Amino acid sequence: MKTTGQRHATVIGAGVVGISAALYLQRHGFTVTVIDRGPPGEGCSMGNAGMLGTASCVPVALPGVLAKVPKMLLPDGPLKLHWALLPRLIPWLLRFVAAARPARVAEISDAMHALQADLLDAHLELLGDAKRTDLVQKRGKLHLYETASQYHGAAPARALQTDHGIAFDELDGTAVRQLVPEIVGAMHGATFYPDVCHCTDPLAMVRAYAELFVRRGGDLRREQVRGFEIGTDGPDWVVTDAGRHAVSTVVIAAGAWSGKLVRQFGAKVPIESQRGYHVMLPRPGISLSVPIKAEGRGIILTPMDGGLRITGIAEFGGLDAPPDRRRYRTLLTHARALIPGLVTEDMTEWMGHRPSTPDSLPVIDRSARFAGVHYAFGHGHFGLGLGAISGRLVADLAADIPTSINLQPYRISRFAPF
């Protein structure tokens, strides 16, 4: 492992996690290089629903999840699977089912909540430095139930939120219509989370972080990482399509591509791409007062600076297959069932790769083999919100500074043997 007079760190990945880590490493006195094949924030960071809040202490795998899968796989359902990938997915799916055991759900929820406690503080710290705090709004979030069965089906999630002191209000159908008169059809009610914030332009957020990083002397390289040349004490060089660069401290924050990179360091992690989709309506013809999650439809509608974003779908389709355009139609079909008059003129479409672990928790850790190698990836459906706090934690780890929370739940070793 190469060393220099001043501490230097190389971050692989220019998404929200990687750029946040780079900024916090700079705070700790490191000179920093960030390497990514694409521009900052133009991977999964740009396409999400923009939510920032502690209400997400509910893991994806909950008791009874298997019974729901057949309905979720229906043509208009929120879950999609490329069946040719099933043999490869079986180990991941078995771990997913194991994570749904009640005792394990309680542990995971505790760990999610601990990680989210300083989520907003970390983002506002960086946004303040970048002079872009305008990108965060506190409007709350509405979880919408069209039927009583949807409401009762979400009871385990609300119980976990109650256990962790998360504030919410129960609304009946009349109150829902007062808050969001654009919604049509019969509504059983909703749960409103008043403390949830959202980002009005996720791509602008990451770009603001990247511009701040460069202003502070950061080196941002657009290259595709091929791997590492490893010496006795760890990686000496990172090899890219443009050549190779000497490294000392390394942070792997490459999202869904991280699993391939950490294998070189003797680590194996069950991480899969849950491909997510969105459509963006620049002039939707309505103005929502609050972001909405339609519980029975698996979509989120978020008012953003560029219009109305409709996100959803969890598709196991690997890293290489092109987007399935039917998914965009599915999102629009569900959104129009709630708001029939949506205007789709000049609509844009997006698909990205959520880096998902079976237990909904990211990996934030140091390599067991090489002290200078660190991990920050696997944030699944919660990457934008957790990006800044994860960057802070992995930077503290790299600088040998005590972290604000116990990182044991996020260790890569939790997946051994794999």
Domain range summary for the chain, segments of one domain joined by +: 8-45+204-265+360-415, 53-101+134-199+271-356
Q: What is the DSSP letter of 172?
A: E
List the structure tokens of 98. Answer: 């194991």
What's the CA gap between 54 and 109, in Å, rounded?
11
**pLDDT: is 68 or 280 the higher one?**
280
Residue 104 has pLDDT above 90, yes or no: yes
Query: What percent of the chain is predicted at pLDDT more than 70?
Result: 98
Give helix 86-99 / helix 102-116 axis angle, nearest 10°: 90
- Residue 2's pLDDT is 54
Query: Closest Cα partner for 382 from 366, 409, 359, 406?
Result: 359
- Residue 3's pLDDT is 47
Among 3.50.50.60, 3.30.499.10, 3.40.395.10, 3.90.950.20, what is the CATH number of 8-45+204-265+360-415? Answer: 3.50.50.60
Residue-averaged pLDDT of the chain: 94
- Residue 1's pLDDT is 56
What's the CA gap between 85 and 82, in Å, rounded?
6
Long-range contacts of 318-321 (CB under 8 A, 24+ apart): 318/82, 318/85, 318/273, 319/256, 319/257, 319/273, 319/353, 321/82
Sign of torsion over alpha carbons 356, 276, 120, 161: negative
- Residue 121's pLDDT is 96
- Residue 283's pLDDT is 97
Query: What percent of the chain is predicted at pLDDT more than 90?
Result: 88
Q: Say if 8-45+204-265+360-415 and 53-101+134-199+271-356 have the same CATH topology.
A: no
Query: In sequence order, what are the residues at sequence separation of 6 or more whose Cβ sits closer than 8 angstroms to the Cβ of residue 156?
Result: 62, 63
Q: Which CATH superfamily is domain 53-101+134-199+271-356 in?
A: D-Amino Acid Oxidase, subunit A, domain 2 (3.30.9.10)
Model pTM score: 0.95
Residue 418: band (very low, low, confident or very high) from pLDDT cuts 50, 70, 90:
low
Tell me which amino acid residue 365 is.
Answer: D
